[in-house]
Chains A and B, each alone.
Chain A
Amino acid sequence: MTTLLIRAARVIDPASGRDETADIAIDNGTIADLGANLDAAAADRVIDADGLIASPGLIDPHVHLRDPGQERKETIATGTAAAVAGGFTTVCCMPNTAPAIDTPTTVRGVLKRADETAACRVFPVAAGTVGRKGEAPTDVWGLIKAGAVGISDDGDVIASAGMMATVLSLVAEVGTVFMQHCQEPSLTRGAVMHAGAVSTRLGLIGWPRVAEEIIIERDIRLVAVGGGRAKYHVQHMSSGGSVDLIRRARDAGLPVTAEASPHHLLLTDDLVAGESGQAFDTHAKMNPPLRERSDVDALRQAVADGVVTVLATDHAPHTPDEKAEPFEDAPFGIIGLETALGGYATALVETGAIDWPRLIALLTIEPAKLCGLDARGLGSLVVGGPADVTLIDPTTKWTVTEDDLAGRSRNTPFLGMELTGRAVATIVRGKVACSRHQAASSA
């Protein structure tokens, strides 16, 4: 019995080392069979995937679903609609909601809402300090037991070294991961964009690279002093200097990982000024900020070298009214789920930094391992495992338009840009959650 048969795809599963043309038979929510020339006649529905890549469902370990409390920007329903439009079958949502996700009850509330309304799998990341205020640690054990898959105060750093040491020890005890938003606050007061020639010309307060690097350096030291027991992850790394710090920590055998985001792999700070030189484009305002060409190159190289092992969008929806404020007042953040895969492929595969199998690893098994989702069978494609599959057209060139955006918000600098590579169908728990693939047919 087969509910869905994917035919003649290039099946890439980095977790098992598979890269071959094969069929995938799905029975309800499970991969029933995987191999050449499976029986199409027995399937309710057949998708001809000739020329497409079949990947384990993509995982984004860093999104903002704004739920609870900020539903004008996004909800679990709209954010996951954006996710499946971009090929993601699993997202991890950050706790900077209103209220913050800092109690087991809130974690369970998010999971319940996801159960009822989400288009894909949703796992919350919970706060490391109460109210994300950096003053008192949360019940890390209780949060993880309630279903959180990581700990972070994202949006804010844990600024106090002492509090950070405490939270890291709790994280180590439970065996989860701490994800740090690396920004020394005393170096970034009033800062709204990268500190460089553009910020100087526009009269905007700069956010220097060192504010990121100093926190990474401090935290690596804390992880080392703690005996290397706490898994520590750097979110949305933006500075070329940070790459060297992560490389050294990993070489030293510490459990340190880092993620890069599509915008930091593609865009630079001159986008704030735009073509007019004074655009003050709020769609180029995010935290950490867009930096310079040398940082973009260093991040791409870090991905190629295996220093960066995870890719994450930092999907951060805001309303048009909020982004219409003057640059200094507008909130930080851009959406990213719908354009991410094309952005990664354009920045990393088209440039020859990595190949498709490595890109898929960075989007599947690597983030799965980061958040312990591999233990639930996510991030790989194996018989008997969950039927989360993303079909990718690796060569299609497309220009981003508003019609491509499926979430609630429109705040992206990628509108009008041409990207290469795109998810054409997203299968979550064996069901087609999103498809723009013309060759789908019934048997």
Chain B
Amino acid sequence: MVVDRAENKAAAPRRNVLTIRELGHERLVRILRAANGYLDTPPEGDELRGRSVGLLFFEDSTRTRVSFTAAAQRLGAHVLDLASGGSSMSKGETIADTARTVAAIGVDAMVVRSRQAGGPGVAAAAVSSPVISAGDGRHAHPTQGMIDVLAFARFVGRADAFDLAGLRVAIVGDVLNSRVARSAVEAFSLLGASVVVVGPPAFAPPKLAALGCDVSNDLDAELASCDSLMMLRVQVERHGGAGAPPGYRRGYALTSDRLAKLRPSTVVMHPGPMNRGVEIDGEAADGARSLITEQVRCGVATRMATLVDVINGASEGGAP
């Protein structure tokens, strides 16, 4: 903006979880610590007893929806599940109207996924209940970003202070279309890791380095220097058909040849769902250095910690 506005718009409600950036370091670490605790000691099951969580998924999802559902149920909360198929959402109801309807029914938090960037923010602006993003367009997937740093921090033995200084993470692939990549860059950077984003120029949005990461077009040059190699799903549906773009595998797939060039301590990550034989081969996905199953395990714990922070944090009026 070149001219200043005399009035500011009202600030967003503080309990929302829409981006990692907005969450800030202190709250991110608090949620991660709680999530790490759930992995060691499962919850009692009454943390959110009597509470209800609305799932508003305006875009299809299996993994994230099941993960949030399990998280809510293991804490004793009720789940109101609105999936887009067969609901008023498929009859053209807007995100804001659906959110208001669910708020009127009464929930303590809403988990919102949308096809469009900013969709959870639209819901948050329409209601007073806190909103957790479960992924919006190409913008953000904050709980996935938390999962990725949690799995990695546990592996490297830093799940106490969550200080990742001195470690380097390579995020590889379809960054242009990836909300996971944006949230992962924010989360790893916020905890002090250095991040390099690797992919073909056609997958790099403009001024990518402004996210606070290094940018590389040469995966082979990065293999020996990274502590974690996070492969992104090639969004084949967004690239006009099946398979990766021509030449993609040659330059950017994690093959057994490339696996052999990693340092012994380097781990392989993938937020899922994987395209085996496209961006990652079975030897890498299923090998000893794969953290992929651990990431999924961290998913439910992270979402439990997020729900408790958002719901109980709000009722206790604690500062974020």
Contacts and interface: CB of A to CB of B under 8 A. Distances in A.
B182 A201 contact: yes
B200 interface: no
Contacts of B1: 267-268, 270-271
A203 B182 contact: yes
Given A201-B211, A280-B118, A195 B206 contact: yes
A336 to B, nearest CB: 14
B184 to A, nearest CB: 13
Contacts, number: 105
A201 B12 CA distance: 18
A208 B136 CA distance: 23
A325 B119 CA distance: 9
B95 interface: yes
B5 A203 contact: no
Chain A CB within 10 Å — which of B3, B12, B136, B211 has the most? Answer: B3
Nearest to A280: B118
A204 B1 CA distance: 18
Contact of B116 (A201, A271, A327): A327
B117 A200 contact: no
Interface stretch (B15-23, B188-196, B250-258): B15-23
B121 A200 contact: no
**Interface residues of A, dominant DSSP:** loop
Given A203-B138, A280-B118, A399 B6 contact: yes
A326 B118 contact: yes
Contacts of B22: 276-278
Contacts of B18: 278
Interface in B130-183: 136-140, 179, 182
Contacts of A440: none
B118 A200 contact: no
A346 interface: yes
Contact of B2 (A203, A268, A418): A268
A276 B121 CA distance: 11
B119 A326 contact: yes
Contacts of A280: 117-118, 121-122
Interface residues of B, number: 38
A200 B207 contact: yes
Contacts of A417: 3-6
A203 B179 contact: yes
A214 B76 CA distance: 59
Interface in B1-59: 1-9, 11-12, 18-19, 21-22
Contacts of B6: 399, 416-418
Contacts of B11: 276
A199 interface: yes
B8 to A, nearest CB: 6
A30 to B, nearest CB: 39
B208 A326 contact: no
B306 interface: no
Given A293-B2, A416-B7, A202 B211 contact: no
A42 interface: no
B117 A327 contact: yes
Contacts of B8: 275
Nearest to A200: B205
A296 B3 CA distance: 12
B3 A274 contact: no
Given A279-B9, A296-B2, A326-B122, A203 B206 contact: no
A361 to B, nearest CB: 24
Interface string A76-99: 000000000000000000000000
A208 B206 CA distance: 9
A107 B205 CA distance: 43
Given A196-B207, A328-B116, A416-B7, A202 B139 contact: yes
Contacts of B118: 202, 278, 280, 326-328
Contact of A200 (B95, B116, B119, B208): B208
B69 interface: no
A225 B193 CA distance: 57
A266 B3 contact: yes
A202 B7 CA distance: 23
Interface in A256-271: 266-268, 270-271
Interface in A376-435: 399, 416-419
26 contacts: A197-B207, A201-B182, A201-B211, A202-B118, A203-B139, A203-B140, A203-B182, A206-B205, A267-B3, A268-B1, A274-B9, A275-B9, A276-B11, A277-B21, A278-B21, A278-B118, A296-B2, A324-B96, A326-B114, A326-B116, A327-B116, A327-B118, A328-B137, A416-B5, A417-B5, A418-B6
Given A196-B206, A203-B136, A324-B94, 10 more contacts: A202-B118, A203-B179, A204-B137, A204-B138, A206-B206, A267-B1, A324-B122, A326-B114, A326-B119, A416-B5
Interface of A: 195-197, 199-206, 208, 266-268, 270-271, 274-280, 293, 296, 324-329, 346, 399, 416-419
